[in-house]
Amino acid sequence: MNAAERFDSYMEHLSEGLGHADRHAGLRGYCTGLMLPLSRKSVEPMAARVDPMYASARHQSLHHFVAKAEWSDSQMLRRVCQWVMPKMDFSQGGWWIIDDTGFPKKGRHSVGVTRQYCGVLGKQDNCQVAVSISLASNQGSLPVAWQLYLPEDWAADTERRAKAGVPEEVRFATKTQIALRQLRTLLDEGAPHYCVLADAGYGVDNAFRQALSDMGLLYAVGVTSAVVVWPPGVQPLPPKRYSGKGRPPVVPRRTATLQPISVKTLAMSLPSEEFQTVTWREGTNIPLRERFAAVRVRHAGGNVGKARLRPEQWLLIEWPEKDEEPSKYFLSTLPEDVTIDELVRVAHQRWRIERDYQDLKQDFGLGHYEGRGWRGFHHHAALSIAAYGFLMAERLIADKSVGGKKNFIERQVPALPKDYIPRGSPARAAPRGDLNHEPAPTPELPVDRPPRAVSLLWKGK
């Protein structure tokens, strides 16, 4: 079976979740447009390239398919996962990678747009933010859950919600709450209990980490330097004795000399012998290696350190040799007997989701949707991931056929008619051969003719 035949089978597989046969053409046309080498992958340029002779009609049909048709984007992602995951090798384990990504946007009417931190810009600005979960192995990763973060001002604005088509059941939820709900849904559907990876935006939330442990999931998440822990070998005093009134005390007692410290203070106090250079993977040009130290600590609550005593876990510290202080910190519930090499390798698997976002935005038009509605935003993202998933599956097939070397299939670009004129091109000459195409002579006034006076206009009342 060649790539074209596999693409046909893939479209048939995805079409089974659309619910209506009339949507099959829209699915194929949209996914084909997303895989074409276009500079802009919104509906109009894709329609003009997929069906150039009937661009207007195709534009309307694709717009209806992505923005108005009632099919499930979450069901689409499940079917993409069903196609790609059997081709991935999870014999050495897998990971759930949680992250969010931003889309700069002007105005205030596109769903979810507000002034907030945008990772693409590295600052606060008008943008949309979506939370996703990717399933990853050593071979690659694929987003399997996707939801727009709806800010509080949007969640409370009935008029804007109605115009954007935000479902009634969608209420304000933090990004960590969205991620946990996505993860619970995946596990309820039978997904495997892999280790969870996330950056400090999620890992710093103690409730988030506790929820992962309650679900029976290991984690390796980033934290900030201000997170407070009980250092190795320091055992806090037990809580005060219960007096019989109110709630029983759970906060460990402290003294002037028995206090938790920030992870930065702990890192700065470690002797240099605690750090060792670890290589975790091959980079583009050179192996990626850095200095790390790993110690067993107990989390001591929030930044003020007031919480019940937690079980021991790993604190992984990354400290580049040329820097004056550590650059990254991770908390992990991986087993106590794990090696520091494995701990570093797992903690640094999160780079895969950054690569997902980069490929999806640059090659599959993830950020090119120009509509304003909730349904269209999620449909477009699901279709971008579907196009990405097919090319990823083809790469995995090619890798196996050539013994692991990376090899991408060539994209089949539909041929354009010879007489097709792209939108915005200058008008072509008249096709009739019996017309005179010689340019008309330019009229010239004789240079020796004396100028005439211009008559004055009569001014009346």
**Residue 318 has what pLDDT?**
96
- Segment 307-326 mean pLDDT: 88
Are 196 and 93 in contact, with CB atoms under 8 Å apart? no
Contact 385, 143 (CB under 8 A): yes
Sole residue written with tokens 């410290």: 261
Residue 162 pLDDT level (bands cut at 50, 70, 90): very high
pLDDT at position 211, please? Answer: 95
Q: Which of 275, 361, 367 is nearest to 325 (CA)?
A: 275
Judged against a pLDDT cut of 70, whether residue 453 lies above it is answered with no
CA angle 18, 24, 30 (to 5 degrees): 100
Res 317: pLDDT: 97
CA pair distance 36, 49, nearest whole angstrom: 9
Distance, CA of 247 to CA of 7 (rounded, Å) = 62
pLDDT at 303: 41
pLDDT of residue 400: 72
Task: Quote the distance between the C-alpha of residue 293 and its chain's center.
Answer: 30
Q: Which helix (H) or strand (E) holds 353?
A: helix 351-363
Bridge partners (DSSP) listed for residue 143 = 134
Q: What torsion, rounded to 10 degrees, do the Cα atoms 388, 389, 394, 399 define?
A: 100
Higher pLDDT: 430 or 383? It is 383
Predicted confidence at residue 378, as pLDDT, reads 97
Higher pLDDT, 403 or 231: 231
Least confident of 114-118, 226-230, 455-459: 455-459
Neighbours of 192 (CB within 10 A): 11
pLDDT at 233: 80
Closest alpha carbon to 268 in 319, 304, 302: 319
In this prediction the pTM is 0.83
pLDDT digit string (tens) for 396-406? 988 776 654 44
Structure tokens at 17: 């979740």
Taking residues 386-414, what's their average pLDDT?
69
pLDDT, position 19:
83
Distance CA 288, CA 344 (A): 11
Break the chain into its structural domains and give their ranges. Answer: 1-87+376-415
Cβ contact 214:196 at 8 Å: no
Contact 172, 148 (CB under 8 A): no
| Percent residues over pLDDT 70 in the chain | 82
Average pLDDT across the chain, whole number: 85
Terminal CA-to-CA distance of the chain, rounded, Å?
Answer: 88
> Tens digit of pLDDT for each residue in 361-386?
999 999 999 999 999 999 999 999 99
**Of 338, 263, 336, 323, the residue nearest 290 (C-alpha):** 323
**Both structure tokens of 435:** 């017309």
Q: At what angle do helices 374-401 and 24-35 cross, to 10 degrees?
A: 60
Model confidence at 181, in pLDDT bands (50, 70, 90)?
very high
Q: Please tell me the chain's helix, strand, coil percentages from 3-state DSSP, rounded to the nearest 5.
A: 35, 20, 45
- CB-CB neighbours of 357 under 10 Å: 21
Phi, psi of 100 (to 5 degrees): -140, 160
What is the crossing angle of helices 24-35 and 43-50, to 10°? 100
The answer on pLDDT for 286 being more than 60 is yes
Give every CB contact of residue 134 below 8 A, 6+ residues apart in sequence. 96, 97, 99, 141, 142, 143, 144, 352, 353, 356
